[in-house]
Structure 1
Amino acid sequence: MPDMPLSSPKTRRRHSAVTHVGLARKINEDAILCRPDLGLWVVSDGMGGHAGGDFASQTVVRALNSLPDPLAPEDIPRATREALHGANRLILEESDRRGVGVIGATVVLLVLSSAHFMCLWAGDSRLYRLRDGVLDMISVDHSVVGELVEQGYLTWDEVENHPQNNQITRAVGVDEDLELDKRRGDIRPGDRFLLCSDGLTHYANTETLRAYLSSRPIETLADDLLAVALDGGASDNVSVIAVEV
């Protein structure tokens, strides 16, 4: 089914954002992007270690940051997809050039217009929405354990303790044919969205996320959630973006 245009006009939203190397890694392989001018927010988590995870996530973010402003709302779905497919090609080419095996990056992006949201993703970086005190996970992890959750064998909170919790099944730069999932929905005043890498969800379960999204000011929310991961040990890079409608 072709992308349907997002409604216009867009309104700039309040947000807070942070990315942190964590307490165990030497390189931050996460990358984030905030483009409130386009109503666009992005989290990308690189994979491949020193072989190029940081290159992959930065390539994803650079591709999306290159989108022009202004960009008509009806053009945003197509433009974001084209940018990600372009990043996919660049990462594959770099992997071949280096001869180091697979490198890649997850991506989750949120686009907000006046009345709707769109989410595109590949991998296990996540998008949540808090509405009327209820936290919903908008994206679904493309991972071995994500499939077990979808089949009813695990809950999302149980995923964090599973021995295969870091084995993802999709990412940008891994296959020639990049497969992205999409979800759309309405937005209402008071909705809050959270984009994050798995460096946060290793330490913040669903109830913790719900409590923080329900009670903390949007201006400090990203830093407050980062503190949860750091207090827990932050063995991975941590990226958090919070957006309020």
Structure 2
Amino acid sequence: MSASDYRYNARTHVGLRRKVNEDAVLALPDQAIWVVSDGMGGHEAGDFASGLIADTIAAIPEGLDPAARMQALRDAIARAHDMITREADSRGRGVIGATVAALMMANGHFVALWAGDSRIYRLRGGRIEMLTKDHSAVAVFVEAGTMTWDEAEQHPHSNAITRAVGVGETVELDKVRGETEKGDRFLLCSDGLTKYATFGMLEKALGEMPIETVTDHLVSVALSGGGADNISVIVVDVL
């Protein structure tokens, strides 16, 4: 595994209505780790939380074998959780937290870890698949089959997340893993994109656009839809 096994493009945008970008994106191509985090708690809180998650993961030492790297990724998120909760206590204010969606690859496999409603998708053979499942109040409707994820994004309670880094005693991460194939394209994004981009729109853009322009295009989709939230996008191609 080396950085030459992948190509990626990352972009984050404050959007049209927020003054501060509370999202954070991180790319560690030499370690095949990519992360999107969406902060909650307002200016000087949400951006602190998402930035701390990114900074803590960025400090993972290089040269670890895949199993050790995976454990280091989990440990980094757990450390960030503890630091965020301590900071919230010291400020004596409401909840400070952030979502996290992290993708790691090694030896023809991927692992996705997440908490919250930032998402990871995979495009394979022209078909898109959502690898993560939102930790949100409306996810129960999707799981019950009464609503699609696209419909859930338009629900009035779509922003109510049930799990985040910095919230609760310990951080609960879900995990999914699988094999990678040459030509796979992964998308990590915050809900500032998925509020406006349906599965069909994502599938079309990821299937048709080159790595150099696809992230700009996806950001423009969110902006043209209203850009009410911060927008973060990472696209990773398996070569």
TM, length-normalised to structure 2: 0.97
Q: For 1:11 and 1:25, how far apart are their aligned partners in 2?
A: 34
Gaps of 5+ in 2: none
**Over aligned residues, Cα RMSD in angstroms?**
0.9
Supply the AA of the counterpart residue of 2:113: L
Alignment of 1:69-84 (within 5 A): 69-84=62-77
Gaps of 5+ in 1: 1-8
2:186 paired with 1:220: no
Match of 1:198 in 2: 191
Alignment of 1:58-137 (within 5 A): 58-137=51-130
Q: Is the 8 A contact 1:10 1:112 kept in 2?
A: no
Q: For 2:16 and 2:100, how far apart are their aligned partners in 1?
A: 23
Alignment of 1:1-245 (within 5 A): 9-12=1-4, 13-50=6-43, 52-245=45-238
Q: For 1:239 and 1:87, how far apart are their aligned partners in 2?
A: 20
TM, length-normalised to structure 1: 0.95
Q: For 2:3 and 2:46, how far apart are their aligned partners in 1?
A: 34
Once the two structures are superposed, residues 136-187 of structure 1 have per-residue CA deviations (whole angstroms, 9 ceiling, x without a partner) of 0000000011121112121011012111100000000001211100000000
Q: Secondary structure at the match of 2:24?
A: strand
Instruction: Indicate the percent of aligned positions where both proteins have the same amino acid.
Output: 54
Q: For 2:93 and 2:119, how far apart are their aligned partners in 1?
A: 28
Please state how far the C-alpha of 1:189 moved relative to its aligned partner. 0.5
Supply the AA of the counterpart residue of 2:71: R
Once the two structures are superposed, residues 16-73 of structure 1 have per-residue CA deviations (whole angstroms, 9 ceiling, x without a partner) of 1100100000000000000000000000000011250000000100110000112221
Q: Is the 8 A contact 1:11 1:114 kept in 2?
A: no
Please state how far the C-alpha of 1:230 moved relative to its aligned partner. 1.0
Runs of 4+ in 1 over 3 A off after TM superposition: 9-12
Please state how far the C-alpha of 1:10 moved relative to its aligned partner. 4.2
Please state how far the C-alpha of 1:122 moved relative to its aligned partner. 0.1
Larger mean Cα displacement after TM superposition, 163-172 or 63-72: 63-72
Supply the AA of the counterpart residue of 1:109: A
Q: Secondary structure at the match of 1:50?
A: coil
